[in-house]
Each structure stands twice: as C-alpha cells, then as structure tokens.
Chain A
Amino acid sequence: MKKLILPLLGCIPFLLHAGGFQVNLQGTKQTGMGHLGTSFYLGASSAYFNPAMMGMGENKINIEAGASFINSNVVFQNQTTGVSEQTDNPMGTPFYLYGTYAINEKVTAGLGVYTPFGSAVDWGEDWTGKFLIRDIQLRAIFIQPTVSYKINDQLSIGAGLTYVLGSVEINRAVSAPIGNNNSVNLQGNANGVGFNAGVHYAVNEKWSVGLTHRSQVDIDLDEGDVDFTMDPALASSFPDGKFSASLPLPSTTTLGIAYQATDKLLLSVEGSFVGWSAYESLDFDFETNTDRLEDSKNPRNYEDAIIIRVGGQYSVNEELDVRAGFYYDESPIQDEFFNPETPSTNNLGFTTGLSYNVGESFGIDASFLFISGQERESEYQPAGFGGKYKAISVIPGIGLTYKL
C-alpha cells in the first residue's frame, strides 16, 4: 500500500485555500453546495462527511471518485515600502476516492482515500519575505477504513480509522551576516493515525441531524533531510543532515442540520469547530547543532476557528440536480503570528454545482468554488515581517458516481 501511495504523493500538490492548511474539497457534490454533507446522504462520500450515513444508500455498492483543480493566488503589500508581491502557486489537485459495501441491513463497510490538508505556496526566489519562506509543499493523504451501524430507522452510527501519509518540502533563504546567497531546503515524509466518527439522527420525514468528529492527527517527521547552501565561511556551522519535526493536523467537529423543504428542495446548515489551537509552534530539531545552528523554534500560536456553511440542492428532474452554497471560514491565525508560509485569510466561499445522472447507476458531478480571501493587515512579529494580504481562489471540481 505504502509503495503505491508514495509515488502519488510526489505529484499532487495541494493548494492552501481553507483556514490554515485545511483543504475542504472532499466531495464534488458537497462542494457544490458549500461543502455541506454531515446531515444528509449524498453517496459513498459519507465515509468522510459522516460515517454513520454509509448505509443510507439504496444500492449495495457505492463508489465515488473525483478531483478539484485549485487556482489560487495571494497578494502581499508592504505599506511602508509600497512593494506589492504575488504568489505564483502551482495548481493544486486534491482528490478523493470512496467505496461502500452494504454487508447487511444494518452494517456497511467502506473505504475512503482523501486529502483534507495540504498547501502549495510559492512566493518566488527573491521576494521580500524570502528569509521566512520561498516555497512550501505540504501534502497529506488520509486512508480510512470505515464501518457504519444502523441502530434503528432513525439512528445510525459509524466510525473509521485514518492512516495518514504526509510529506513536506520547504525552501527559504537563510539570513546570515556573511554571504548573500544562503539558503536551506528541508524535506521529509511522515505519517500519523487518527479516527473519524459520526452519528446521524433522522428526526422525521423532513428534518435530520448529523454530528461528526475527525480527530487531530499528529504528523511526526523523524528523518527529514536538511540541506544548507551557505557561504564557505559559514558552511561548517551549517552542516547538512537530518532533522525531526511534528505538525498537528487539527481536529474538526461538525454539527449539521438538513431540512427537506419539498420533494425537490433540500436545505442544510452546518457549523464546524476546528481545533487549530493545537498548532502552537513549528519546530525543527536538527540532529547536529553548532554554535550558529540551534534548533529552530517558530511560534505559530493558532487559535481554534469556526466554519459556518449554508447550502441547498434542487432536483430539476430525474437527470439533473443543481446546487449552490456559501460558507464563512475563519482564519485560525492571529495578527501577530501571520507567516506568509501559510497566508490564511478569513475566507468567503461561494459555490455552485450539478450532478447529471446517466441511467440508473452512473453519474457525473461538477462543482465550482470561488473563494474570496478577505484583506487583512498582519505581521509575523518574531521575524518583523508584515503587510497586507488578500487572496482569491477559483476551484472547479469534477466527480464520478457509480452505484450497483
């Protein structure tokens, strides 16, 4: 399994577009309506959105797969020098693959592979913040075997274990009093484990409620490679070697309510609480320390954040469902600790999408997400770097559904 997945990691950069480095694009149908999906069933993707609902499909086998194409740019402006700079980020392509199998009336098994965290930010070689970050690629693939159990017609529960494969690569310039071309490259692979659990309750024909908790996953990187390019006068003080680091992928708790307004119209609202306060510091522990190379401690001091989503789905006819939604995604980053490595603004997300069903068992899903990253004026005080930031992301997505 690991052998198969790791080459994949190498070619899939995910672009930051949600709070922190969270990426909320785990189902094309859900994305089309504000990334809602905790309290109503839309297919195999419930393995992610609420494992309790996996058995709610009419078919024995459900499969969904898809990907999104993130075009995102962040602009920075230093108000004192007047300099404006913009990222040149590679396109991010988060993907998902879900399959569920109804073992019997009560029990359904499923597997999800998805990418809820990641970041690809490239500010360029020579921008003014190069001593903080030039570019970063952070990737995480979650693999989640899951089972759901239908307690009665109204109440279901479900849970899965998540095994996470992660990788990170960071490039930045090194500020030293000697030499004008000092830089460092840090990279490594890591993994971690967590869980995803949910409960779903159908109140009556019209109303239903869902509650999920996706646990925090600590990604521990033990054998990263650090590669310094330093002036010869400093080279012996900055030896290449190994480093270790740990990065928390925060927990998310979501409560959703769905309302089947008419036969054709479904409305829903959700609130998520993301435990970003776990991300206190990004520390690099270098295996070899010297008088000039101490372990690098970089305070992050993130705060817990909320996401509010509203959205709806309208069934035009047997063939077509259309969707729209909106969400507000709060940045977890305080104004004093805003590092351009993760330029996360408060985001307004506007989404739309559709599904087109070809016959009984096959469907095509499309979504479109526009994210307006609200302007903010922030500083990373530990490095004395700040200014105004704002971001825009345009993210089309495509998905396939198969039912048997």
Chain B
Amino acid sequence: MNLKKYMIYLLPLAFVACEPEFDDVKFEAGAADFSRTVAVGNSLTAGFQSNALSAEGQINSLPNIVATQLKIVGGGEFKQAILPGETGEKGAGVNEQLYDPRNPLPDFLLPELKLVPTMDCLGASSVGPGFVPAGFNQPPGFPVPVPNSIYSAAEFDMNVSADGPFNNYGIPGAKVEDMNSTTFSLTNPYYKRMAASNETVVQAAVRANPTFFMLWIGNNDVLGYATQGGDDGTGSITAQGTFDTEYKKTLDALSMTNTVKGVVANIPNVTSIPYFSTIPTGTDAITQANADTLMLLKNYGGYNAGLAQAAAANPAFQAEADMRKIEFKAGQLNPFVVVDPSLTAIPGLPMYRQIKAGEYLILTTPSDSLKCAQWGTAKPIPGSFHLTTAELGKIQTAIDGYNATIRTEASARGLALVDANARLKQLATTGININGISFTSDFITGGAFSLDGVHPNTRGYAIIANDFIKAINSTYGANVPQVDVADYPTYEVTR
C-alpha cells in the first residue's frame, strides 16, 4: 500500500482557516466631545411613558440610551435624578393634567399604566391599559388620578438638588418658556424635586458645564392644547413669537453662545400619535330601524328642519346648515355626532354636527360609552373629546412654525438636527421595519408607543435614540454605535 505516501498531497489543507472573521467596527467621537453631555427637554427627555415617570422609564430614557452609546466613544457618566422605587408600579408619576384637565389634582399621583386583561361593556375580553393592582382600575374607560396613599408623596417631594447638577434635565410638562423660568420649580413637581432654589432649568443644565447638549423642547407648547380637545379644553398653543424668543434664548445659554456642540430635535405633528388616531370617528353598525329612530326620536329630523329654516331666513348660513345636517343610514359608515361650540348659535338649535373626514376623537373618549351608551349617535359627544378641522389647522400652523425656527437655528448654529416629525409620520403612514420587527403608530399593537398613546415606549425611545445618534454622526463626523431596538423588551401582560 502506497496510500500513506500520497497523503502528502493533502497536507496543505491543514493550514486552511475555517473561521470567517470581521475586524471590529471602529467607533469614534469625530469633532464632538461627549465627556459631559447634558439633556434638556420635557417628558420625552425625562423617560416618561405609560402615563408616569418611573425609575425604569428613566433608565430607558432617550438621552440615557444615547449617553450609554456615547460612552463607547469617550462619553462620561450620565447622572439622572432617579425616582425612588424600583419601577413605576407604585405610581411614581405625578398628575401631569394629561387625562383630566378640568379637574387638576396636584396632590394626587398617577400610577404607571400596565397592560392588563380587560373586558368591555359588550363582554368582549382583550388586553388594554390599566392600573396594577387592579383595585385602582377606574372603569369605564381611561385612568383618572388615584389617591397618593398608593405611594409616598413625601418621598417624591424630597428635594435631591444636592446630588446635582444632573445630566438629564428632561422635565415632564415643560414648555419652551419654562426653560428660562425662575418660578418653574414652584409649579412643576418634577422640577421642584430637582431644582436648587429658583434656578431655571437652563441654568441648572449649564451648571453641569456641558461639552455637548441634547435639546428636545416645544412638544408641550401644542400637545396640551391637542390632548385636551383643542379650543374646548384649558390647554393653549404657545405664540410663535414667544416660542422663537425662548427657543433662541435656550440655545444661546446651552451652547455657551455657540461654542458647545449639540443636537436638537423638531416637533412631531401630534396627529401622528395613537392618542388621536385610535378611537373610531363613526360606526357602520346601524340598521335602518336604528337610523329611523335616531332621526325621529332623537329629533335630528327636527334639527335638520330648523337648520333649513335658518338658512332660508339667512342665505349666508346655507353652507353651515349643509355642513351641520345630520344623517344616519344603514349600510354606510355614519360619522358620530359631536357638540361643536364653534358653530353659529341659532336660538332653539343645539351646536351639533357630524364628525368630518380627517377629524379626530382623542384616546380618552370613553370607548364603552361609544359602544354601549349610544355616544355619538343618540348622545352627541362633548367637544372636549373632539379635534376639529379648525383646531387641527391651528396645531399644524404652530408645529410648522416651531419646526421652521428649530431648523433655522440648528442650521445657523451648526447643530445636529433630528427630524422627529418625519420619523413619527413614517411610523403613522408606512410603518418601519427594524431587524424583523414591524412598528406602526397603532395603539398597543404598533409596538412603538406606550400605553398612554402619547409617549413612546422603550423600543420607541430606542428608535428615536438611533435617530439622534445618526444626526450626531453625520453632523460631527462621528461614528457612534446605534442600539439594537430589539434588545429592549416589549410589553408583557400583567395578570
């Protein structure tokens, strides 16, 4: 057998490598210095989600996600004023007047919403937002504040400014003018906790001597108006002039007159969020008998006749009369009837009309009332739950104006700009696929928003954090690693 000697032909094979490898990706800070990064803003910067600010939410806050990545390229510690309590389960949130603006209860705390089993008025079981423990659930519909016995307000009220300055000055509820207000620490419980005497938010941030800053402010300047149903609520839109002045003042201070680099984000259109897009604005579950009953017994027929009469007397009223005419028919989508106080007052006629295409009902509209108590059909829905075309126009105008200012200022000062508006619009229209996960702006099922329908959830914040990182990278020639959005958990049902 000569076989052995021929084996020499196979010898070179022993030197062949079997393991493919990549060199590590080189990450670097580029022209920026992240050694002392400070974030300034509102609830979106604080880590607010599911109706509360909790320690867990703070740890998963947008700036903390970004800062954790910045550490890889030389970023320093990112100190946050972490709330007492392990998670938001005990209710670390404070009433932000998000859910019941007409009944402000500053001494009450809002617990974090959890995903819990629910049953609607028709007996259909599902999962939805609710309080844990279940005793604090407040059926029907959406949460209202619960007594602070569930959580020690004293602990929350304890001032922690001695631990400052902090790196995260995201203050839930803050508007742009609050950034430079010496009285903000008296009115905002979150800032009250962090503030030293009557220091402004911007002063506190500057005291941290930042080498880099993140600023996302202006959302609440229009959000409060929108979430409270527009003109019918107590929220207002910050005037463009005020916004411009305060925004520039804030940037001047944070950038040490344009010597410190930073990143800013613009304002998403509020209508991209599930708070406005979730509740149906009409019903197709109406039989002809139902429709006839509504027109006769609820006297919409008489209302229509009254409108026609008024239009006959005053031809200028004809267009509004047509718009206000109420009609229910089987076999079609019937828009709900709402009360619209902006309509012309006609003696003897209520301010009713049906919801127009492109208008919204807000997430706090009681679903069970729509399903089982004839809201929107026999009972017109109060205007505070309804965003009209006119109100949406005001919101759009304000956001366009704010965003123009933000773009101009960012560009003039050489700051990185995150187009959060485009990102949320993409979420609301086409959706986004990331590593095999589909995200949309759908409430709960969309995977990106928290259970309050306004704030992102942890994965949503991670998506935006990557947008911040991308903006930083492209503006400052840096290569900061992004995060894997799927590394962050999604909801589990609390049973």
Contact = CB atoms under 8 A, between A and B. Distances in A.
Given A177-B444, A320-B6, A370-B16, A75 B22 contact: yes
Interface residues of A, number: 50
A336 to B, nearest CB: 13
Contact of B490 (A86, A177, A381): A177
Contacts of B13: 352, 368, 370, 394, 396
A179 B492 contact: yes
A207 interface: no
B16 A175 contact: no
B21 to A, nearest CB: 6
A131 B459 CA distance: 15
B265 interface: no
Given A131-B486, A177-B447, A233-B493, A79 B25 contact: yes
Contacts of A383: 433, 435-436
Interface stretch (A17-25, A106-114, A303-311, A385-393): A385-393
Given A352-B9, A354-B6, A383-B436, A177 B445 contact: yes
B277 to A, nearest CB: 16
Given A130-B436, A177-B444, A383-B435, A71 B491 contact: no
A84 interface: yes
A73 B444 contact: no
Interface in A308-365: 319-320, 322, 352, 354, 356, 364
B103 interface: no
B483 A180 contact: no
Contact of B436 (A86, A175, A319, A370): A175
Nearest to B10: A368
B54 to A, nearest CB: 19
Interface residues of B, number: 41
A128 interface: yes
A222 interface: no
B317 interface: no
Contact of A129 (B3, B435, B445, B482): B435
Contacts of B17: 392
Contacts of B149: none
Given A82-B27, A354-B6, A392 B18 contact: yes
A241 interface: no
A282 interface: no
Contact of A180 (B19, B24, B434, B492): B492
Contact of B20 (A73, A79, A356): A73
A382 B433 contact: yes
B25 A394 contact: no
B22 A80 contact: no
B419 to A, nearest CB: 18
Contacts of B115: 178, 233
A77 B25 contact: yes
Interface in A76-103: 77-84, 86
Nearest to B1: A358
Contact of B438 (A80, A81, A175, A179): A175
B481 interface: yes
A79 B22 CA distance: 11
A366 interface: yes
B314 interface: no
B18 A394 contact: yes
Nearest to A71: B18
A247 interface: no
B301 interface: no
Nearest to B126: A233
A392 B18 CA distance: 6
B451 to A, nearest CB: 11
Interface in A218-237: 231-233
A114 B189 CA distance: 74
A266 interface: no
A7 interface: no
A384 interface: yes
B18 A180 contact: no
Given A80-B482, A130-B436, A231-B493, A392 B22 contact: no
Given A383-B433, A384-B436, A84 B24 contact: yes
A170 B450 CA distance: 32
B258 to A, nearest CB: 29
B481 A385 contact: no
A79 B486 CA distance: 16
A132 B434 CA distance: 11
A319 B16 contact: no
A74 interface: yes
A384 to B, nearest CB: 4
A27 interface: no
A51 interface: no
Contacts of B466: 80
A388 B482 CA distance: 16
B127 A233 contact: yes
A71 B436 CA distance: 28
Interface in B258-273: none
B478 to A, nearest CB: 13
Interface in B329-387: none
A373 interface: yes
Contact of A319 (B2, B22, B127, B445): B2
A82 B24 contact: yes
Given A71-B18, A73-B20, A233-B127, A131 B481 contact: no
B437 interface: yes
B446 interface: yes
A177 B18 contact: no
A352 B10 CA distance: 8
Contacts of A354: 6, 9-10
Contacts of A391: 20
B489 interface: yes
A323 B189 CA distance: 81
A143 to B, nearest CB: 32
B484 A83 contact: yes
A392 to B, nearest CB: 4
B432 interface: yes
Contact of A82 (B25, B127, B437, B489): B25
B20 A178 contact: no
Of A130, A322, A384, most buried by chain B (CB within 10 Å of CB) is: A384
A394 B19 CA distance: 10
Contacts of A364: 3
A375 to B, nearest CB: 8
Contacts of A129: 435-436
B482 A81 contact: yes
B14 to A, nearest CB: 10
Given A81-B481, A394-B18, 11 more contacts: A75-B22, A82-B24, A82-B481, A130-B436, A132-B435, A132-B436, A175-B486, A177-B446, A382-B433, A385-B434, A391-B20
Interface of A: 71, 73-75, 77-84, 86, 128-132, 173, 175-180, 231-233, 319-320, 322, 352, 354, 356, 364, 366, 368, 370, 373, 381-385, 388, 390-392, 394, 396
Q: Which A-B residue pairs are the 5 nearest by beta carbons? A: A131-B436, A384-B433, A177-B447, A175-B437, A82-B25
Interface of B: 2-3, 6, 9-10, 13, 16-22, 24-25, 27, 115, 117, 127, 432-438, 444-447, 466, 481-484, 486, 489-493
8 contacts: A81-B483, A82-B27, A176-B447, A178-B115, A179-B493, A354-B6, A383-B433, A390-B22
